Amino acid sequence: MMPTEFDITGKIVFITGAGRGIGKGIAQVLAEAGADIAINALTTKYVETTAAEIAAASGRRVVPIIADVTKPDEVRRAVDQVLATFGRIDILVNALGDSIRKPLVTLPDNKDSAPGVSDDELRFIMDINVTEALLCTRAVGPHMLERRSGKVINIASWTAHQGGRDMVIYTTAKTALAGFTRAQALEWAPYGVHVNAIAPGIFPDVVTSGEERMRQTAERARTTVPLQRPGRLREVGLLALYLASDASDYMTGQTILLDGGLGL
């Protein structure tokens, strides 16, 4: 029998970036644990199919929300849609994110160096990894604060603890997200709202990477990750379940590494 503290039956969850990848893995586990879920994506390409699959597998209500959550007006519209559909939001998961492997500027001593990050790339990486979390948390905040209850889970990265070559902008964004997690947790602690983050390592998604790239990632992980394998999307979902449930009620402001030892 599962400890009652992990039971989230009837909770309402809003997950950004959940049409695929880590967001989808979190949605699957939280639905299995009894939550009803609104899953967000920029387009209908993956999210409608994902919502239908999770609903069929879990028996829970799963609603797709199409919005660009890096834009304030669309964030407000998305949150209003979730509240109109479900009546409340108990758990917010800011899972939208993406990376780019480029140096800040072209490196002169490396003829194979990629060109430096462009203005558009810089704005995109900061917006998709940091701005969306700030905007969504700000939009949901008044609702959670009024109810004096809520869980916010940000998806950071192991790079927030250890930088990587050609990953300056992504590392900066995820480090900012970890700092936001700490500061927001402190600000909202008196009101019963918890803010934590998960920092995943290597978690490839076959839907977007394809079978061959998945195989290559697994090969690299055998030599670069101490536990000698990439992570499974479900494993992020299981940690998110802990942070979403009453089991984590004495934890706030933390960024938890889930990286197979990659950041050691």
Tens-place pLDDT, residues 150-170: 999 999 999 888 877 788 999
Average pLDDT, the chain: 93
- Is residue 95 one of the residues assigned to a domain? yes
Q: Any idea what the CATH number is for the domain that residue 161 is in? A: 3.40.50.720
Contacts of 239 by beta carbon, 8 Å cutoff, 6+ apart: 198, 256, 258
Question: Catalytic residue at 46?
Answer: no
Which amino acid makes up residue 187? E
Share of the chain above pLDDT 90, in %: 75
The active-site residue out of 170, 191, 242, 250 is 170
Q: Which residues of 145-154 are buried (b: 16+ CB within 10 A; e: fewer)?
A: beeeebbbbb
**Predicted structure pTM score:** 0.95
Q: Is the pLDDT assigned to residue 219 strictly greater than 90?
A: no
Is 153 inside a domain boundary?
Answer: yes
∠ CA 179-182-187 to the nearest 5 degrees?
A: 125
Does 23 reside within a domain? Answer: yes
Q: What is the mean pLDDT of residues 195-210?
A: 86
- Kindly state whether residue 180 falls inside one of the protein's structural domains: yes
Q: Is the dihedral of CA 143, 197, 183, 97 positive or negative?
A: negative
In terms of residue numbers, what domain contains 29? 4-258
Using an 8 Å Cβ cutoff, are 91 and 13 in contact? yes
Lowest mean pLDDT among 111-120, 130-139, 198-207: 111-120
pLDDT at 39 over 80: yes
Residue 111 has pLDDT above 70, yes or no: no
Which pLDDT score, from 0 to 100, does residue 110 have?
Answer: 65
| 172 within a domain of the structure (yes/no) | yes
Among the ranges given (2-6, 20-24, 58-62), the one the predictor scored with the smallest mean pLDDT = 2-6
Count of domains observed in the chain: 1
Q: pLDDT band at 55, cuts 50/70/90? A: very high
Asked if residue 84 belongs to a domain, the reply is: yes
Q: What is the pLDDT of residue 121?
A: 93
| DSSP 8-class letter at 60 | S
Residue 263 resides in a domain = no
Per-residue confidence band for 7, with pLDDT thresholds at 50, 70 and 90:
very high
pLDDT at 108: 83
With respect to residue 203, please indicate whether it lies within any of the assigned structural domains: yes
213 vs 132, residue with greater confidence: 132
User: CA-to-CA distance for 167 and 19, rounded, in angstroms?
Assistant: 25
Residue 92: what pLDDT? 98
What is the Cα–Cα distance from 242 to 38, expressed in whole angstroms? 19
Half-sphere exposure of 52 (CA within 13 A, CB side): 5
Say which DSSP state 12 is in.
E
pLDDT > 90? residue 197? yes
Measured distance CA(11)–CA(27) in Å, rounded: 12
What is the reported pLDDT for 37?
Answer: 98
CA 197 to chain centre: 8
Q: How confident is the model at residue 214 (pLDDT cuts 50, 70, 90)?
A: confident
- Three-class DSSP labels, 139-156: HHHHHHHHHCCEEEEEEC
> What's the CA gap between 39 and 46, in Å, rounded?
11
Residue 172, token pair as written in the block: 């900066």
Give yes or no for a contact between 27 and 50, defined as CB atoms under 8 angstroms apart.
yes
Residues 83-107 have pLDDT tens digits of 999 999 999 999 999 888 888 888 8
